[in-house]
Structure 1
Amino acid sequence: MTDPGPGVALDTVLGKAVALLRAFRVEDTVLPLAELVRRTGLPKGTAHRVAGDLVEHRLLDKTPHGYRLSGGLFELGMRAATERTLLELAMPFLQDLYERTHETVHLGVQEGSEVVYVAKIGGHRQARSPSRTGGRMPMHCTAIGKVLLAHAVHEVRDDVLGGELERRTPHTVVAPGLLRRQLSRVLETGIAHEREESTVGLLCIAAPVLDPDGRTALAAISVTGPVGRFRPDAHETALRAAATALASTLARRRGGALRTG
């Protein structure tokens, strides 16, 4: 059984539905009913009944091999005001960064102790990576995550550093002291690096999209490429420019909203 997430009560209908939806991981496409039962701990009959209700409401699709997340979830996600506004404002800068680097570009935000990928842009030669739009990754092993963690409130940072740091590859940093020093370096330089820590064969750099106070990271942008071809230092200037420009645009948007509110 996997953890259905904080605050999920399996003794309510809503809790059971949320547990089924959260059973899907980033790498999952279709899950058979038996796997949903195993991950959630729900009785088979209950899981089957609730999954049927989710299919009826277009939150899951039924396939010959099991269930998959439905487009109805995407529609709901796109109505989330903060993320939608962020994505709309960020997309021109992300596209420009892609044109400058021709490498995979991500936009991510913090949710709890994880990174949620709001956008991903890649071309024909994009690096194979486990990330996807709407997917999640641990903060400690991704460049975007390190940027967000470095700028997070002390409680979040202490919670991540004091918890179990999952070793996703042989290169994942799982020593809290070493990770803390990396986060300090991020605050000094404004750039975070990932060196095959989430996926073997991938390198990544990220920069924060800062609030006007200069301390809070509203989001982070990254550029990712494969070992052997990708040169992180060559893309730092373009990455910083994109993150700074998006931060300025968000600040102007917020200022305009305050003046008209």
Structure 2
Amino acid sequence: MINFNGNIVAHNDNLLTQNRAFLYGDGVFETLKISNGKILFLEDHYFRLMASMRVVRMEIPMNFTMEYFEEEVLKLVKEKGISNSARARITVFRNDGGLYLPKTNEISYLIHATELEAASYVLNEGNYEVDLYKDFYVTKQLLSSIKTTNKMINVTGSIFAKENDLDNCVLLNDSKNVVEVLQGNIFMVAGKKLITPPVSEGCLNGVMRKQILALAKKIEEVEVLEEIISPFDLQKADELFLTNVITGIQPITKYRKKEFTSNLAYLLVQKLNESISEN
């Protein structure tokens, strides 16, 4: 028997009372975009998930190949009839047993998916305002670069953004440097330079971040750099945008009193869609 919302009810595993991802944040995940029956950037997602599992000492099953990963995700979206355009999340968690110290490193996984409106990436040209979130800071460590089920900074930051009529917030690390935004990586355009914080600063090793860096390096007039960004640098920028695999690129139009253009963001979205159609 357990107490659930004030009611004594029969023990039920569906309430997640034995799920270590629920109890301890002992899980890692990947969020995927499916377009026209295909997982975009499949290899990058798969290898990041495998790396994340190794970092937290999870045992990777022998059958958990990239082909298996792909098959299981696509099987679900096909069953739901949303293969044309969907968002899917796979969460991997350590199996039940133990307290902080687990009794096993074997894993289970859960996949869920929802339909998206567009199969390709579309640039949102509406107003998009951000500011700093300074209640909590991201630590400069390896765990910050992977997607774990402990996202309390992102949750509390999102509440802060809503309370202050912001569309997003910029996260800082323990050195008070810019790391990322609540839902993705951040890029800054200053003159002919495209700058994003290095992973060593504590930012997520984003799949879309990797794509944008590669695409931008093919543009002759753009110098691509991974460098430390201070909050003061943001106010001197010509352009700011965030990236994640679902949205693609989201231009930031306002940070405090500074407003920004979105010229490079527009060009990169075009090149991103071209690269997807070619593969």
**What is the TM-score of this pair, normalised by structure 1?**
0.32
Structure scoring higher RCO (CA < 8 A, sep ≥ 6) equals 2
Flag the structure with higher strand content. Answer: 2
Flag the structure with higher helix content. Answer: 1
